[in-house]
Structure 1
Amino acid sequence: MPSHVLCCLSFFFSVSLPSDLLVALACGLSAAFLLLLLFGLSVYLLWRKRRTQTFYRGLIPATPTIPRCITPVLQTSQSSTYGSHGSGDVPFIVPPRFKRAPQLNDKKEESNSAEQWDLNPDLHSQRGSLTVGSWFPLGSIRPDLYQLPEEPSEWALPDGSAVRLWFALRYQQDKEQLVVSLLRAANLPTQCQRNITLVKLQLLPSDDRRHRQAKARRKGCHPQFNDTFVFQVSNSCVDQCSLNMSLFTVDHQKKHHLMGQILIPLICSELKEAAGKVQWRDLDNESDQPLSKNGDIQVSLNYNQSLHRLTVVVLRARGLQCCSEAAVCAKVCLKIHTQVVRNKWTTVAKGNSPSFNEKLTFRLLPMQLDTACLSLQIQQPSTEKPVLLAIVVIGPFMYARGRELEHWNDMVSKPQELVRQWHPLGSADTVQGPQ
């Protein structure tokens, strides 16, 4: 250190200064040193930041080089294999930055985007992760996905005072089960609005006479059930069975009033075609016609021409000339000309208004429809000889007239329906025929 500097320092320290002044001087020097250090650090950071921005600005071009209607994707070379030749260079481009136009031009951009969307149908199939502007209309709503299905025509109310019942049938052959879905009823009389509505389902003929019962979920003229029932039916016996559904209303005194019933013959081919489809039938109520002298019988007929099968369903009888505890049965005879081809009997029921609900089938060729007839006899079975109570003949013009002839013609003209009708019974001494 030079001699003159040492002399100055020795002179400075040789001067006697107060202690307070020395402390203030030391603090001022320390603060000045810290301020200089912070200023230098700030200048260094600003210089480093500007250098970095200048470096990246040279890589990204000021104007995009990719057309507006082409989706920017990473371009790779298919011929080059990464790392196979020792070079790890992968060609790529950095996607450009897109600036949003002013708000005044939003409508013009939307119209241009819509035109580009219509002129470029290929954009519908593109699903890239990089999309520009409004090429893909995100968040658009498809109204067809939110439209509620209209009520089918099957829900239409019946005309007049008929009561209609909606249901669906499905037969599962692998499980040998008949699934019955009871949906709703409509057009009940106004006096039944406050009553409970019940539907009793029964499979006929069956050794198990117990029925299944469905209760309406709400009261009124249009009750809804939405219940499902399963019946165990083997594949070999399904064609010989019928489904009976009876609708009752229960008043405040818990009395059941029958509104009507439906009898549906079970045919495998028809069950496959209408599997799970909604069907409807109008209930068959009591006939308004007065009782005949010997009573009446209610019968349903159906003829399947492809299977050569005549189906006869004996439902019930009323007003029979017998005591209320007498046992009766119905005998059905198929005749061709005057020859009896086949006889079948129903099960025995008691009372002067018995309910049979039994299905009987016969084989009949289409060419024999004009020469065949059905003879229905109400008998009292006994050990020696059955007692004939009443009889009715249903057939073509050769054998019947009036209501019996009309029933036979309706059966032939409506092969897809089970035609039901009441018939007056004749006395046992006379056999009905053409008059």
Structure 2
Amino acid sequence: MVDTNDVFTDKSLVKEDVTAVSTDTPWYKDDSMIWILVGSVVAAVLVLVAIVILFVVCRRRRRKKSWDLGWNDTDCILESKSAPISRNCSPKLEKRKSFPDALADTRGKMVRSLTLASVPSFTLPPERVQPQNGHERSCSLTAMQYQQHLIGHLEPELYRGLSFSDDSSLCLPPSEYGRLWFSVLYDAAVEQLNVNLVKVRELPGRGRNNAPRDPFVKIFLLPDERTCRISKVRKKTLSPMFNESFTFQVDPDSIRSKTLRFSVYDVDKRRVRHSLGHVLVNLADIDILKGDSMFKDLELTSTMCASLGDLQISSTYLPNVDKVKIVVIGARNLRQIDIDQNNSLFVKLQMIHGRKISKVKKTMLRPSTSEPVFNEPFSFSIHGKIIDTCSFELSLMTTTRTPMSHDEVYGRIVLGSFMFARGEELKHWQEMMSQPRVAITRWHQLNPVTHHD
């Protein structure tokens, strides 16, 4: 029989062995193994760093060697880094001298200037001038003598003075506003005054570019301003040629008291006429029986006319709605107006911001009279911040009731601040601004057009 105590004893031994095995430490937790692993990693890193350092050092030595070879080679020019070393060097050319005959001094430097002693002697070839005729062929003439001889034998007929009517013969000073040529001849047998309009020169151009104009001329026999003669319009020119004749029926007793007026105008693309100047000729001061051609400079205003008339307007400033209300009431004393059933009058209002036209409005057409009545209100929206930089230009216009109507500026006024207006027009503006919502009514004298549009 088996002894039970031995069995129990064997079981206890087996249990102790299992316990001993279970309590043993694994290999990766051993300190010696960890240090071995760390040491191998460090060694690998050091080897890698050493390889990199060795590679860099070798590369630098090779580059330095190539640069040393390039600098030490006296027969070649240093090449750029991008060029291959095997490329052949360009040949070294000899420096060109600015003075080939220059010599070197004792110091070995080039001498760029020579003394007169080193300049080679030379002589000019004999001058070959063809003589004037066979008698002088054996004579030797210089060039200056030959030229003087030619000048002395010029034909005087080739240099005869031109006629007085030609522009090239007139040594006249330049005209600021233009110059007009005309002739006047009176025929007492038929009591007719013949006026020949020849031409106009040196008219100012349009705008800053001096663009050409479309000028024409109106001829009046003052003091009668209702009857005039009108020339044809010349297109795109500043020196128009007219060569037109006009007749006026005048009796011999009153011919010396008459004054001839030439008014030059320009027609723009909008069919608006602009005055360019006037010429006044008192028939008592010229010889009207010869018909000689004469000229005279243009003037901006006609000195024979005292006033163009007055225009009555009313203006109101409404700051609560940022508006200016202007009422064109009427005009008076229009002495120079052409009273004709085919003519009409109207007033053009322009609101100008700085120098730019913002709005344009017109009244209805009225018959051509010396005292027309309009009574038409107009409203303009203006912000309070820019009202000091705005002005109103009111122009009294004349037009003809024909299919080819022409608008002409008779006179104008400017209503605005001190930057745009003066005199009574400035006082009117200041009074309107100081009394808002109050209508200010005044008469203003019409001014002639003195600037070129």
Normalising to structure 2: TM-score of the pair?
Answer: 0.32
Normalising to structure 1: TM-score of the pair?
Answer: 0.34
Q: Which has the larger radius of gyration?
A: 2
